[in-house]
Amino acid sequence: MPELPEVEVICQGLRPHLVGRVVIDVQASGKPLRHLAPLAAMQEMLGGKRVKTVSRRAKYLLIAFDDETLLIIHLGMTGNVGLFSQTAPVKVHDHVRWQLENGYELRLHDSRRFGGVWLLSAEQAEARESGFFAATGLEPFSLGCTPAHLMSLAAKRNQPVKTFLMDGKAVAGIGNIYANEALFAAGIHPARPASTLRKRDWQQLLFLIRSILSQAICCGGSTISDFINASGESGYFQMNFQVYNRKGGPCSRCGAAIEKIVITGRATYFCPRCQKESKAHPVHI
């Protein structure tokens, strides 16, 4: 599933090509997604409207229009979006196409159809933080997302710290890949109860989360499964993975074999030597 860096890369790739463009029509394949705004509503509310901004919130792509109507897209597990000529052949899994006045169209391609499309009115868009995103945590780069904030949220949680990091209600946008990588960088065992982390643990962990996410964005994201960015190019942060998907491979620091366990139904990778459950001292990247 595309995580925060992948969605941010798509956002940055689309922004210069979408802002100022006018939607003239919307077409859909007719096949259901996890959530799909009614086609008739999209055609009525977006037809003739000009794109004002392209942004990201958590793992969602936000496209706002000149009348403040807001289109929200979630890529699910295998979705991607990109700009194509309206004359380019439509693929089987191109499920939604927003046609623009310049002869191009934004296409949502989703082979497993776990993605979603929502359309918010101007009033709903203005209240999106208390409405649509009411259950979404702070952005990891936001000023309000501090070690103290995370520590207070985790204080009464005995769930594994990896599960806590992936809980979008606690902090937005961190998925399986980057939770694995950040915990390895911090020298914290992924099964360690979140409530046991101390202030210095959260200080180091938040610093490393931000560093790793920033690096991944600079690398264009991670090419896992079907992720592709808005320019049709694959990301390459996976070349920098220290533990993710490296079961049996040597730890880059100590040489021990990377192990794999399952935590809350998700594949979890760690170094048994660098991330001992009792280890509290961080490891710098």
Residue 242 lies in a domain: yes
Do 44 and 99 have their domain in common? yes
Do 40 and 109 have their domain in common? yes
Find the catalytic residue in 2, 5, 160, 190.
Answer: 2
Question: Which CATH number is 44's domain given?
Answer: 3.20.190.10
Do 120 and 151 have their domain in common? no
Instruction: Tell me what pLDDT residue 227 has.
Output: 39
Residue 136 lies in a domain: no
Do 111 and 46 have their domain in common? yes
Name the region of 82 (left: φ>0; alpha: ψ -120 to 50; beta: rest): beta
Question: Which CATH number is 197's domain given?
Answer: 1.10.8.50
Do 52 and 157 have their domain in common? no
The neighbour count for residue 84, using CB atoms within 10 Å, is 17
Do 169 and 116 have their domain in common? no
Domain that holds residue 106: 4-126
Find the catalytic residue in 52, 210, 266, 273.
Answer: 266
Vertex 6, ends 140 and 109: CA angle to 5°? 135
Last residue of a domain, one of 126, 159, 188: 126
Do 12 and 119 have their domain in common? yes
Residue 277 lies in a domain: no
Any catalytic annotation for residue 3? yes
Find the catalytic residue in 56, 57, 59, 97.
Answer: 59
Do 89 and 43 have their domain in common? yes
C-beta pairs of 60-64 under 8 Å, 24+ apart in sequence: 60/7, 61/7, 61/10, 61/11, 61/14, 63/18, 64/125
Alpha carbon distance, N-terminus to C-terminus of the chain: 25
User: Of 80, 67, 84, 102, nearest to 9 (Cα)?
Assistant: 80
Any catalytic annotation for residue 193? no
Residue 216 lies in a domain: yes
Q: Which amino acid is at 45?
A: M
User: Of 220, 261, 256, nearest to 238 (Cα)?
Assistant: 220
Residue 134 lies in a domain: no
Any catalytic annotation for residue 266? yes
Do 119 and 15 have their domain in common? yes
| Positions of the chain with pLDDT lower than 50, given as ranges | 223-229, 235-238, 279-285
Residue 278 lies in a domain: no
Q: How many domains does the chain have?
A: 2
Do 110 and 172 have their domain in common? no
Instruction: Tell me what pLDDT residue 256 has.
Output: 97
Instruction: Tell me what pLDDT residue 224 has.
Output: 42
Last residue of a domain, one of 126, 155, 174: 126
Instruction: Tell me what pLDDT residue 232 has.
Output: 57
Instruction: Tell me what pLDDT residue 226 has.
Output: 42
Do 166 and 89 have their domain in common? no
Instruction: Tell me what pLDDT residue 1 has.
Output: 65
Residue 131 lies in a domain: no
Pairing between β-strand 116-120 and β-strand 35-36 as defined by DSSP bridges: parallel
Any catalytic annotation for residue 139? no
Residue 190 lies in a domain: yes
**Alpha-carbon distance 104 to 233, whole Å?**
18
Do 18 and 117 have their domain in common? yes
Instruction: Tell me what pLDDT residue 107 has.
Output: 94
Q: Considering just the CA atoms, what is the radius of gyration of the chain in Å? A: 20
pLDDT digits (tens, 9 = 90+) for 245-284: 889 999 999 999 999 999 999 999 999 999 987 544 443 3
Within 13 Å, how many C-alpha atoms sit on residue 54's CB side? 21
Percent of the chain predicted with pLDDT > 90 = 75
